[in-house]
Amino acid sequence: MKTAPRFHLYVLDGGELAGLNATGLETERLPDPAKIEQPALILLAPGQKAPPELEATSVDVPLDAPASAVREIVRVAMENVALRQQVTQLESEAHRRHRQFRELNRIGIALSAEKDFDRLQTFILTTMRQLTHADGASLWLKMEEDGVPKLFLASSQNHSIDKNTYQAFTVPVDQRTVVGYAVSIGSSQIYEDAYNPPPGKPVGGKSFDSQFGYRTKSMLTVPMRNYNNEVVGAVQLINAKRSFETRLTVDNVDSEIVSFQPEDVEMIESIASQAAVAIDNKNLIDSIQALFDGFVQASVTAIEQRDPSTAGHSGRVEGLTTSLARAVNEIATGKYRDVKLSDDQFKELRYACLLHDFGKVGVREHILIKAKKLVPGQLEVIQARFEFIERSVQVKYATEKLEALRAGKGDSDLDEIDRRLQQELEQLNQWVQSIVAANEPTVMPEDKTSTIEFLAQQTYHDISGKAHPMLEPQEFRFLSIRKGTLDPQERLEMESHVTHSFHFLTKIPWTPVMRGIPEIAYGHHEKLDGSGYPRGLTGERIPLQARMMTIADIFDALTAQDRPYKRAVSPTIALDILHNEARQGKLDNDLLGIFVNKKIYQPATAR
């Protein structure tokens, strides 16, 4: 029988098997069941029972059975045992494959979800080590240095070496190192002993071992391929162990290290490919992030170049608002104790702050940078007009004086003419000074208001004798502005920058985690009592992040030193103004309390 030599035939003590000797089969007495050698078949005499753990490999031999029947029984029984073993092995392999599939699926999901590059690298190496019981692992990424392809050691791990083995260095993509060799030929490499590699392949591990007092033996190096099947790096595993938790020493290397298996290669290649795609995706996301950051900074620069007086405002508002948001995240009491903004929400808030004034690109420049009540050039026109009026007055009185001389009038009459001339010239100068004072962006006193109204009703005559108002209607309208530099029509245009910002930001195809940016920026001039603009929102209709930005925006606008249309106030006065608005129900008092208590308004170094 061809199958007989592969089996151990055992008989139990105390039983006699009829016809066994005539079969020519060699049997053994059953030893300790724990020491039985497989594959095995136990022959039972009538009335005998096999140990419970060996029942599946036992067969009853009938009493007085002829030798031919015994041989046939044994043959069929051995085939059955062999089939059961094959089924068990196939089931075990199926279970192993299933577990491997589940593990690979879990790893794939984890790799695609991880956003932190350092954690991603650590996860890749740790997972591969756990699956293969490797003592050490390293991750190499392909790069170009002066046009020459090289491999950069991005990360490494070693269970048996306490110190950090990571060192930033590169190796060439050639056949002088194991990792360079694997990448250059694009195929995985298994070494049973790195010091004794297969013919034609480089030795591995000696340089590392001499530095750390280590012994590299078994080694698996796998190229990493991205979705274009391009080799973008490699992973290298060293020293597969019998037990993952074992710490290797030079003395126990031979007893504890085993070879990496062919099935390890298949699994690690799959993970390496997933890792390569994950790293590629992460690099792509980082490059897109850098591109968008550049776009945002360019947008801020464009805003500031149109309105240099507010340079730095967007950045300062972003710093104050995000600091306030972090403080809200940390509080354990109060109205907002349950608010916890995620990293994505902080990024969303940051972009909303930096871009909140971008709509100013849609505001006409003379309004955007209007430092005085009159538009640039208007005051000079008025001053030139009054210089003409002054010359006209001088001509008038010179003519009167000439006529007096012709009429033989005395010195007293001539002095009276000079006195009236001087009086009128002084009045003209006072009016000009009143106009200059009224043009300033401060709150205009009552006497200046009445003077401007009076001048708007006065006329002068040009050379042809035609009458004109001393102040044109538009000039009078601008000079009558009680506070600031903008009249109601101009203020509406300036306030429209919020709507412009919203429309601009809605044109950007934001990712789902960033889609709140337009709405946050849209609400930064709204007030809780509905007195804000442009939509007059109230209460909770204003996004929380917008309410934070409103406080930061007002504080920076009040304390900014570079606004030509108003004087900066001290932080103390600015906080008093904010508290007053909170008492009036315009600002969020709880957020303002955090802003003040956590000293968000102070430079970060002073908090």
Query: Tokens 């069941």 belong to which residue?
Result: 33
Q: Is the pLDDT of residue 39 over 70?
A: yes
Cis link prior to 33 (omega < 30° from 0)?
A: no
pTM strictly above 0.75: no
**In a 3-state reduction of DSSP, which class is residue 140?**
strand
Query: What pLDDT, on a 0 to 100 scale, did the predictor assign at position 532?
Result: 94
- Rounded to the nearest 10 degrees, the angle between the axes of helix 67-113 and helix 117-132 is 170
Torsion on CA atoms 562, 566, 567, 572, rounded to nearest 10: -100
SS3 (DSSP) at 502: helix
Domain spans in the chain, listed from the N-terminal domain onward = 4-91, 115-283, 307-366+489-606, 378-482
CA angle 554, 555, 559 (to 5 degrees): 115
| pLDDT band per the 50, 70, 90 thresholds, residue 578 | very high
The token pair that represents 375 in the structure block: 């538009």
For the domain bounded by 307-366+489-606, which CATH number is listed? 1.10.3210.10
Element (H, E) at 524: none
User: For the residues 335-346, what does the mean pLDDT come to?
Assistant: 93
Measured N-to-C along each axis, helices 262-306 and 117-132 cross at an angle, to the nearest 10 degrees, of: 180
Averaged pLDDT for residues 7-14: 79
**DSSP state at residue 65:** -
Q: DSSP label at 63?
A: T
Q: CB neighbours of 439 closer than 8 A, spacing ≥ 6?
A: 372, 373, 374, 379, 479
Question: Which positions ≥6 away from 487 have C-beta within 8 Å?
Answer: 477, 478, 481
Average pLDDT over residues 38-60: 83
Burial (CB < 10 A; 0-12, 13-18, 19+), residue 597, is: exposed
What's the CATH number of domain 115-283, 2.40.30.10, 3.30.300.20, 2.30.30.110, 3.30.450.40? Answer: 3.30.450.40
CA distances from 389 to 379, 431, 478 (A): 15, 12, 22
Radius of gyration of the chain (CA): 46
Rounded to the nearest 5°, which phi and psi values hold at 309?
Answer: -65, -20
Task: Give CA–CA dist 467/460, Å, rounded.
Answer: 5
**Nearest CA among 523, 522, 552, 521 for reference residue 540:** 523
Tokens of 492: 């509406």
Give the C-alpha distances (Å, rounded to integers) separating 155 from 265, 287, 597: 20, 21, 43
pLDDT, one tens digit per residue, over 486-544 is 888 888 888 889 999 999 999 999 988 899 999 999 999 999 999 999 999 999 999 99
Q: Which residue type, as a one-letter code, is found at position 496?
A: S
Q: What is the mean pLDDT of residues 423-448?
A: 84
Residue 3: per-residue pLDDT: 42
Residue 435 has pLDDT above 70, yes or no: yes
pLDDT tens digits for 273-308? 888 888 888 788 888 889 989 988 898 888 888 777
Considering the chain, what is the average pLDDT of its residues?
86
Q: Would you say residue 128 has pLDDT above 90?
A: no
Percent of the chain whose predicted confidence (pLDDT) is above 70: 91
241, 256 Cβ separation under 8 angstroms:
yes
CB contact burial 376-405 (16+ within 10 A = b; e otherwise): eebbeebeebbeebeeebeeebeeebeeee
The identity of residue 93, as a single letter, is E
| pLDDT surpassing 90 at residue 272 | no
pLDDT at 191: 94
Relative to beta strand 58-60, strand 134-145 is unpaired
